[in-house]
C-alpha cells in the first residue's frame, strides 16, 4: 500500500517514466544476451530520436541560465531516482549496464542528451567493468566517483547508425 501511495504522488510524467523503466529493464537484460550491446543500443536510439535540450560534451549544465539548469538537473535526478525505484521492483539481477542503458534511453526520450560511459579496472587479479551515465559533465548513476574507480574508455559509447537484427 505504501508503494502505491508513493506511485500516486508522482506526476503523470514520472508515472509514465516509471512504467517505461519497469518494462525496459527486464527487456534490456534479455536483449543484451540475445542481440548484444551495440545492436540493442542502436534499437533504443531508433525509438528515442533525440531533439537535444542539452548535449553532454559541448554544453555544461553550469553554463545554462540558472532557471533552465535547475529544471534540467531536477529532471535528470528525478529520472535517475525513478529508474532506481523501478530496478528494485524488477525480479531480476539488473547489473549496471542494463540500468545505464535504460537511464540513457529515458533521458534521451525527454530530449536530454547523455553519455553512456564504460570503465574497467583490475582488482585482486580480476578485470572488472562498470557502466554509468554522464550528463553535462555530471555522473548521474553508478556512483559519483565512478570515473576515479574505473578507467573509462576515452569517448562515450555512441549508438550505431545502422540497425541490422
pLDDT at position 11: 86
Average pLDDT over every residue of 9-32: 92
Mean per-residue pLDDT of the chain: 83
pLDDT in tens, 49-67: 666 555 444 445 545 444 5
pLDDT band at 96 (very low <50, low <70, confident <90, very high): very high
Could you tell me whether strands 126-135 and 115-123 are parallel, antiparallel, or unpaired per DSSP bridges? Answer: antiparallel
Grid cell in block for residue 131:
557502466
Q: Give the residue among 42, 61, 10 at the shortest CA–CA distance from 108.
A: 42
Are 103 and 76 in contact by the 8 Å Cβ rule? The answer is no
Amino acid at each position: 500500500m505504501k508503494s502505491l501511495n508513493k506511485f500516486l504522488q508522482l506526476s503523470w510524467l514520472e508515472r509514465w517514466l516509471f512504467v517505461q523503466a519497469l518494462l525496459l529493464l527486464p527487456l534490456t537484460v534479455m536483449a543484451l544476451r540475445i542481440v548484444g550491446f551495440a545492436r540493442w543500443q542502436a534499437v533504443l536510439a531508433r525509438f528515442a530520436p533525440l531533439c537535444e535540450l542539452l548535449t553532454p560534451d559541448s554544453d555544461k549544465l553550469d553554463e545554462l541560465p540558472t532557471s533552465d539548469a535547475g529544471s534540467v538537473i531536477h529532471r535528470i535526478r528525478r529520472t535517475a531516482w525513478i529508474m532506481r525505484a523501478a530496478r528494485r521492483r524488477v525480479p531480476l539481477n539488473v547489473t549496471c549496464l542494463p540500468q545505464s542503458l535504460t537511464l540513457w534511453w529515458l533521458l534521451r526520450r525527454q530530449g536530454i542528451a547523455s553519455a553512456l560511459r564504460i570503465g574497467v579496472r583490475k582488482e585482486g587479479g580480476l578485470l572488472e567493468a562498470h557502466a554509468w551515465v554522464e550528463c553535462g559533465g555530471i555522473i548521474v548513476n553508478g556512483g559519483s566517483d565512478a570515473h576515479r574507480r574505473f578507467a573509462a574508455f576515452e569517448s562515450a559509447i555512441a549508438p550505431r547508425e545502422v540497425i541490422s537484427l
